[in-house]
């Protein structure tokens, strides 16, 4: 959020997308906006997909529920198409694996 205020979004996105290894922790837990989904996350994932860079995700959502989360637009608009575009990139970069067991938090 600070990067938006001081105009450094492009620099921050470039730094994130070019990381040697990227781990996006607890994806879907945030209250994301369509702008973050489309102009930040999708840009980062597209670059990492094209460059075949290792990218890992953790989430309490499975892929189907994560797509539903991303489809919730501003004011409750249905943005399923945009959510599918992001999820195509996530599915390309990652394999869904369910971890079960006792919560250790």
Where are the domains positioned within the chain? 2-93
HSE at residue 27, side-chain half, CA atoms within 13 A, is 22
Q: In terms of Cα–Cα distance, which of 55, 63, 56 is closest to 28?
A: 63
* H helix or E strand, kind and range, residue 93: helix 80-93
Predicted pLDDT at 82: 94
Report domain 2-93's class. Answer: alpha beta
Predicted pLDDT at 41: 95
Give this prediction's pTM: 0.85
Predicted pLDDT at 1: 47
Residue ranges of the chain whose pLDDT lies below 50: 1-2
| Residues facing 22 on adjacent strands | 55
Take residue 98 and report the two structure tokens written for it.
């369910």
């Amino acid at each position: 959020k600070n990067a938006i205020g001081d105009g450094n979004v492009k620099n921050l996105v470039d730094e994130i997308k070019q990381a040697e290894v990227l781990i996006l922790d607890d994806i879907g837990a945030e209250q994301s906006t369509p702008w973050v989904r489309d102009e930040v996350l999708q840009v980062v994932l597209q670059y990492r997909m094209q460059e075949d860079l290792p990218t890992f995700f953790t989430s309490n959502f499975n892929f189907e529920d994560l797509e539903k989360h991303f489809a919730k637009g501003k004011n409750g608009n249905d943005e399923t198409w945009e959510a599918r575009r992001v999820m195509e990139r996530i599915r390309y970069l990652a394999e869904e694996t369910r971890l079960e067991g006792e919560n250790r938090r």
